Amino acid sequence: MEIVGTIEEVRKFVSRAAEAENVIGLVPTMGGLHGGHLSLIDAAHEACGYVVVSIFVNPTQFGPNEDMDRYPRTQEADLDACRAHGVDLVFTPTVEVMYGRGFRTVVNIAELAGALCGRSRPTHFAGVCTVVAKLFNIVGPCKAFFGQKDFQQAVIIRRMVADLNFPVDIVTCPTVRERDGLAASTRNQYLSPEPRGQAAALNAGLRLAAERIRQSHPTAAEVINAIRGHLATAAPGGKVEYVQIVDPLTLRDVEVTEGEVLVALAVKFVGARLIDNILVDSRTAGP
């Protein structure tokens, strides 16, 4: 496994791999690797002959009062995990490498970036799009892998790829969960035992919602109230930031739960803001 910090080195190794007719796969990460990331790496291996992982805590996607400074930096463990999962190249740039002097350009997908998490994190997705666009230009992957837990991020990146003609196929992989249903996230480690116990209520609430939608197609307002009620009882330590039911392509609120809808939520516990979602098709029986 090669570990490199410069753009020139990435390009050198990737162009050799491409010359050898490998499909190039990219898994962009901010490190703190967990089961979710490893599933993306495994999916990349299934589909690609050469797998690149980037590890970069991207400052432009954090707001002023967010957790950028304490975001887990676990490089040695991350590199071990990459090795164990057969990664070919790890790109670990510094902020200076990614954002040189005078850097000004921002990629912003206006309306989509303002929905859901964008309401409380107004600059977040512009930071994500800008760094992902840069990574696509640096690595030149054929395929890039993202998790469904960050559904909004995946929708926005697909839009960016279509709008800016990036020749990359975006692959979204299922959310990996802990035993009690909590979605795997680097931020889960911020939780002390009590909120960690309550955090399982996010997924339980979403599953209840999915069941109701499939059974009786209630209005979105009814489902949202039911989820909020569940969270109030099962996760009293959490402050609900949003519970929304949206069209999975436009991320606009829907009023009726017919066809395919995304139920998404964000809840703040002491120490961590958690997100989760479930895609529900009211016409199918579900898993």
Q: How far is the CB of 146 from ligand PAF (least distance, A)?
A: 7
Report 250-279 residues binding ligand PAF (CB under 6 A): none
Which of 37, 85, 124, 230 is the catalytic position?
Answer: 37
Phi, then psi, of 244 in degrees rounded to 5:
-135, 150
Q: Does residue number 128 form part of the binding site for ligand PAF (CB under 6 A)?
A: yes
Q: Does residue number 175 form part of the binding site for ligand PAF (CB under 6 A)?
A: no
Q: Does residue number 150 form part of the binding site for ligand PAF (CB under 6 A)?
A: yes
Q: Give Dmax over CA atoms of the chain in angstroms.
A: 57
Q: Give the H/E segment covering residue 279.
A: strand 272-281
Could you give the angle at which helices 7-19 and 124-139 cross, rounded to 10 degrees?
A: 50
Q: Which of 48, 132, 176, 206 binds ligand PAF (CB under 6 A)?
A: 132
**Token digits for 106?**
């921002």
Q: For residue 217, indicate whether it is catalytic.
A: no
Report 236-255 residues binding ligand PAF (CB under 6 A): none
Q: Whose structure tokens read 């979204």?
A: 172
Q: How far is the CB of 29 from ligand PAF (least distance, A)?
A: 5
DSSP reduced 3-state for 106: coil
Q: How far is the CB of 114 from ligand PAF (least distance, A)?
A: 17
Q: Which of 40, 43, 81, 131 binds ligand PAF (CB under 6 A)?
A: 131
Cα 44 from Cα 90, distance rounded (Å): 14
* Burial degree of 208 (CB within 10 A; 0-12, 13-18, 19+): middle
Q: Which of 13, 25, 28, 170 binds ligand PAF (CB under 6 A)?
A: 28
Query: Given the rule CB under 6 A, which residues bind ligand PAF?
Result: 28-30, 58, 61, 128, 131-132, 150, 153
